[in-house]
Amino acid sequence: MVAGMSLKRIFAYIAIVLLIPAIIVVFAAVLPKSLFMPVAVLIALTAVLAFMLGFEKEADNASKAVLVAVFTALSVAGRVVFAATPGFKPVFSIAIFAGIYLGGEAGFLVGALTALISNFVFGQGAWTIFQMFSWGLIGLAAGLLAPLLRKSKVALCIAGALAGPLFSLIIDVWSTVWIYGTFSLKTYLATTLASLPFTILHAISNVVFLLLLAEPMRKAMARVTVKYALMTSGESLKRRSKI
């Protein structure tokens, strides 16, 4: 069991995560050009809704629901407070912390809801679905790697540094389809190269925020754990759902 999830569930998530890019690549080869964009949007939307439905049962646990709400609110507030520095925001790091301390599904929800809610300020669009999916995936991955990320700061920094490019690579699929109307390796590489400065900035900001926030966040969660008789992992929160 990792961060409150059964092995079966972890395998299901890994399968989904691997299946989605595979479906997109297959569709890119098979589908007519005009149908590719709506299908890509539908796939991302379905994935986001599937993860949200997965969280529905856990949302009955008041403490977990409220903690997810607080992490999301912190992430949205962080995005707003750091609005003046494009690409340099604590969104990734808070999704990662949510994944580590509340579990992968909660991490996914924090990432996804951050995109959905903060885009009421930064602008809604079809990209919102891809942002939700990408940030959510980062939170989910952090939940799956929680035992490792909790122990080692180096692993945490590596995860943060990799989260930036992962986000860009997923978003660039959408950007490519949106700009060029179709998906090919050539157009995808052109889009990826154009967004390279932001990708690097994302990676740097993630490492900075993770390093700055790791210890205080650990202390905050430890304090809450003791004060409210909770344990730090999502698994424990689930077990003690009576609170």
Residues that bind another protein (CB under 8 A): 34, 37-38, 49, 52-53, 55-63, 65-70, 72-74, 76-78, 80-81, 90, 109, 113, 116-117, 119-120, 123-126, 178-181, 186-187, 190, 209, 212-213, 216-217, 219-221, 223-224, 227-228, 230, 243
- What is the DSSP secondary-structure string of 154-189? HHHHHHHHHHHHHHHHHHHHHHHHHHHSS--HHHHH
Instruction: Find where tokens 């799956």 sit.
Output: 144
Give the angle 130-233-235 at the CA atoms, nearest 5°: 90
Q: Please, which residue, 56 or 154, has the CB nearer to another protein?
A: 56
- Strand, helix or coil at 2? strand
Longest dimension (CA), the chain: 58
Q: Which of 86, 56, 206 is nearest to 141 (CA)?
A: 206
What span, in angstroms and rounded, lies between the C-alpha atoms of 146 and 151?
9
CA distance 116 to 128: 6
Cβ distance to another protein smaller for residue 5 or 94: 94
Nearer to another protein, 15 or 80 (CB): 80
CA 167/CA 178 separation, integer angstroms = 17
Structure tokens at 177: 């389809």
- Residue closer to another protein by CB (options 112, 145) is 112
| Distance from C-alpha of 199 to C-alpha of 195, rounded to nearest angstrom | 6
Q: How far is the CB of 38 from another protein (least distance, A)?
A: 6
Residue 231 Cβ, how far from another protein at the closest point, in Å?
13
Calpha distance 157→152 (Å, rounded): 9
Q: How far is the CB of 169 from another protein (least distance, A)?
A: 19
Task: Please report how close the Cβ of residue 175 comes to another protein at its closest, in angstroms.
Answer: 10
What is the nearest approach in angstroms of another protein to the Cβ of residue 149? 18
Q: Supply the minimum distance, in Å, between the C-beta of residue 110 and another protein.
A: 9
Q: Pick the closer one to another protein by CB: 74 or 146.
A: 74
Nearer to another protein, 136 or 164 (CB): 136
